[in-house]
Amino acid sequence: MSLMEPSYRPDRGTWICGRCGVPLEQGKTPIFYLNSAFDVELPRCPQCGLTLVPKSLAQGKMREVEATVEDK
Amino acid sequence: MLDQDGLHELESHCTQESPPHCRVACPFDLDLRAFLARMAENKPGEARKILERHVPLPGILARICDHPCENHCLRQSLGGSIAIHALELACLSADTAPGRTLPLPPKRFKVAVLGAGLTGLTLAWDLGRKSYPVTLLHTGTPESAVLAQYPQLAQSEGLRDFLAEDLERLGKQKVTFVQEALTPGLLDKVASEYDGVLVDADAAPDLGLEESAVDTETLVLRDNICVAGWKSHTATGHAFCSASQQAGQGRRAAQTLERLMSKVSITANRAKEQGALHTDLAGIASVPRVEAATALAGEPFYTPEEATREAGRCLQCECLICVRECVYMQKYKGYPRVFARQIFNNLSIVQGIHTANSLINGCALCGQCEELCPENFSMAELCRSTREDMVDLGIMPPSAHEFALEDMESASSEPCSLTLADSAVAQPAWLFFPGCQLTASRGDQVARLYGWLRETLNKGDKPGLALLLSCCGMPAHWAGRRRLFQEHTDRIRSVWEDLGKPRLVTACSSCLSAFRDRLPEAQALSLWELLDTLDLTTLAKAGQADTALPALFSVQDPCTARHDQAWLNAVRSLAQKCGVKLEEPRLSGTSTACCGYGGLVWCGQPELAAEMSAHRAAQLDHPGLASCIMCRDRLIASGKECWHLLDLLLPGGPGGTERGPGLSARRANRASLRKRLLAQYQGTTEEKPDALARVQIPDDLLPLLEERRILLDDVRGAVLAAESSGHCFQDQESGHWLGSWRPRKVTFWVEYEKQAEGFVVTDAWCHRMIVPGAGGQEAEEVVRTCQASMDKTREVGA
């Protein structure tokens, strides 16, 4: 959806999954808030699907979108 | 729920949009504020446009108007009314072009006027400008009647010949002047030939029409005939011509005839019913009226420079009495009337963005506006009741109050809540309810005070002091959660009943108002009132060495105690007993200002709450003395020295400069006080192995966590959850680990290092959005629900 950019990468570093030990890959995933859903690409483990939300996304765009959705 | 009628009722209590007194007095509804503002800017051309938009025969009236506006000018007692008459003359004498009227297609209704006095000319002007064909029947020359009424119009003496100019403009407006003998026969004839007729009574005396024969509001004599323009009389019976009266009646008759001819109601909505504009004159310096150096035709005549100065004395009357004192209303750039409309619209929209949500949740609900407003408009009541409506409608943003409501729940349940009976007395006469914030900030003082009070009261005739550590439920009330507030106070009622219905004593004014509302049988009173009746000599000894106190304090009354005279008196009495001097700030007692804690603004809009604290701090000239712990802690956080009354009663406390604890520490302090009191009065110790202690959080991270509303327990919980479940990531460059945890409606992310003795946190953040694959096992169920709901939506769509 237009409210969110398509892809977000880790703010820094080279991250691997703590469980599977494999490098993360950008993967498309739906994210939800109240009655809205958005498709975004986030770093995730290709094996177990564990997904990372970078700090810049959580404190930036996500906060904006949360506020907009709450006022809908 | 706020409906149209409710909105209009609310709007009628805000007079900011009411016209100023001068405009109300003007029969032509001249926007004098705008006219004078343009004159003060030395823009006579702009001012003239405003004048001509409202005033008929502007040149003639500039010469002869008896300016009732000046009698109602609020400058009157502050140097003299604005010389509006002289300014109108100056405006029209300036070298500016008269306004052009737009040519309109001629109207089909014809109007006849009998008599060319000021009333007849005014009606001809008003209807001629609207393109009604007007025939003005007169005796003598066209100007003879008005000259007989106002002979000064014949004397120009350096002024422009306004009479000739306005008569010429009348001609251009297609007003036809016809000389006729004005007889009763003529009236009958024109009444049948024309659609509307006006008789100018003063200029057609032969018709013998008495003022008592017409309806005073509409000036209708009969059918399509209006009569107006009689002379006015002094108290002693002397007849004289009042230009404002005669021209005003001409304007009124024009409105009636237009309605008559268009066959619409001649009475509906004629007078605007608006409350009088309130204007606060306090602190406005007196400035004398500018005296004109010259006079023309017997009138003071301003030079452009004099006119600019004189118009500059205009107060530009407006109300804004509440807005001037309120940071919140200033931030949202409006006044209560506008806000009421925005709030009504916000509730009414079905689809789209609710743009007034932050307006509704930004009010501290302190009630200062209601106190200051001459009409008692309460933004607090409007916003609080609207919050209830929003909760009922399911449109309250969850993030607005959730953190505060969680804090309320935490303070009211284990490990923070505690009920202590008094072991010395079977049925205690008193129940001490210190309030969750005093408990969080001043656990040690609460414990000492409780001990002393229990001992002291047990010596008296009403012995027994039980204790209840909990939140009163006020955050739920502020958040518009009616049911939660009710459930919460019901829980407290149940404890109170189990204790044998003792009288409630509380140290918090918000708790006091909650109990008085929901538990009136408990006859709650303030701790300060109780202390004021006791011998305090042994209380001070319960404290440590006296610290140096300021010589003079500014008293900071809590907003929830503004109507509690007993609270306000007891605070002052106790301060006096402690030997300190108090200064009353400009806004104090009933008109006190909020510290920014009220209404949960601190939760949803912390920057606004901080502005409120700073605003209040700036109003206190001396170190503050607060009787509410949140006032004290918030004022200190804004950089203001502020003491709590307990610091005087129990010396050795944190004093006036030590900051209050942060959000995490407040919870920890409540739990710690509970442990201390349990050990002291029941000999119970609850030592649980604390796995959380293995997670270390560096001090420099604490302010950031507070800002992000992340509690230390959430950080520790996230690390332990990640470690136990293996739901985590590792950065191969720094070696840091990253785990997430969603214990409630927020996902917490914590980055940490593993060290031999445990874990050291390096950063943490959070979000409310639900992300599949994040938040650990705790988030799995909610993710499944979201996915199922979205799948269902897709199926329905397909």
The set of residues, in sequence order, having a beta carbon less than 8 Å from that of B467 and lying 6+ positions away, is B418, B419, B420, B431, B432, B433, B434, B450, B677
Pick from B403, B729, B733 the residue to mutate for testing the A interface (most A CBs within 10 Å).
Answer: B729
CA distances from B217 to A34, B231, B249 (A): 59, 17, 10
- Closest chain B residue to the Cα of A50, Cα to Cα: B773
* B297 interface with A at CB cutoff 8 Å: no
A19 touching B, CB under 8 A?
yes
Q: Which residues of B touch A19 (CB under 8 A)?
A: 726-728
- Chain A CB within 8 Å of residue B728 CB: yes
B600-645 residue pLDDT tens: 999 999 999 999 999 999 999 999 999 999 999 999 999 999 999 9
Q: Do the beta carbons of residue B226 and residue B256 sit within 8 Å?
A: yes
pLDDT digit string (tens) for B408-432?
A: 999 999 889 999 998 888 899 999 9
Which of B223-232, B525-534, B776-785 shows the lowest mean pLDDT across its residues? B776-785
B166-to-B97, B431, B628, B635, B636 alpha-carbon distances in Å: 13, 83, 69, 65, 68
Contact B736 A13 (CB under 8 A): yes
Q: What φ, ψ does residue B409 adopt, rounded to 5°?
A: -65, -40
Q: B749: which chain A residues are within 8 Å (Cβ-Cβ)?
A: 53, 55, 58
**CA–CA–CA angle B624, B630, B634 (5° rounding):** 65
Chain B residue with CA closest to A29: the answer is: B772
Minimal C-alpha gap between A36 and chain B (Å): 9
Flag whether residue A30 sits within 8 Å of chain B, measured between CB atoms: yes
What is d(CA B787, CA A32) in angstroms, rounded to the nearest whole number? 8
Q: Taking CB atoms and an 8 Å cutoff, what residues of chain A touch B768?
A: 33, 62, 66
Q: What is the rounded distance in angstroms from the CA atom of residue A70 to the CA atom of residue B768?
A: 11
A59 to chain B, closest Cα gap in Å:
7
The answer for residues whose C-beta is within 8 angstroms of residue B554's C-beta and 6 or more apart is B582, B583, B584, B585, B620, B621, B622, B623, B624, B625
Q: What percent of chain B has pLDDT over 90?
A: 85
A63 touches chain B (CB under 8 A): yes
DSSP 8-state symbol, B332: T
Summarize the confidence of residues B251-255 as an average pLDDT: 97
Residues with Cβ within 8 Å of residue B487, at least 6 apart in sequence? none
Is residue A2's pLDDT more than 60?
Answer: no
Q: 3-state DSSP: chain B helix, strand, coil percent, rounded to 5?
A: 50, 10, 40
**Residue B320: how many CA atoms within 13 Å on its side-chain side?**
10
Rounded to whole angstroms, the Cα distance separating B337 from B333 reads 12
Contact B730 A15 (CB under 8 A): yes
Contacts of A70 in chain B (CB under 8 A): 357, 397-400
Token output for B465: 């002091």
Interface test with B, best of A19, A20, A32, A62 (most B CBs within 10 A): A32
B258 CA: distance to closest CA in chain A (Å): 48
Contact B251, B126 (CB under 8 A): yes
Contact B768 A72 (CB under 8 A): no
Facing A17 at nearest CB: one of B398, B729, B766: B729
Contact list, B739 vs chain A (CB under 8 Å): 18
CB within 8 Å of B512: residues ≥ 6 apart? B506, B524, B525, B526, B560, B561, B564, B567
Q: Cβ of B397 and A67 within 8 Å?
A: yes
Closest to B766 measured CA to CA, from A1, A4, A62: A62
- What is the least distance, in Å, from the CA of B594 to any CA of chain A? 26
> pLDDT tens across B279-315, in order?
999 999 999 999 999 999 888 999 999 999 999 999 9
Identify the pLDDT of residue B426. 85
Which pLDDT value is given to residue A1? Answer: 45
- A50 contacts B769? CB cut-off 8 A: no
Which candidate in B354, B771, B790 is best for mutational testing of the A interface (most A CBs within 10 A)? Answer: B771
CA dist B359 and B345 (Å) reads 12
Give the pLDDT confidence of A10-25 residue by residue, as tens digits. Answer: 999 999 999 999 999 9
Exposed e or buried b per residue across B246-272, where buried means at least 16 C-beta atoms within 10 angstroms of its C-beta: bbbbbbbbbbbbbbbbeeeebeeeeee
Chosen from B351, B354, B769 to mutate, greatest number of chain A CBs within 10 A: B769
pLDDT > 70? residue B795: no
* Residue B193, pLDDT above cutoff 70: yes
Tokens of B267: 């009475």
Query: What's this model's pTM, rounded to 2 decimal places?
Result: 0.87
Residue from B495, B66, B413 nearest B246 by CA: B66
Q: Is the per-residue pLDDT at B546 higher than 60?
A: no
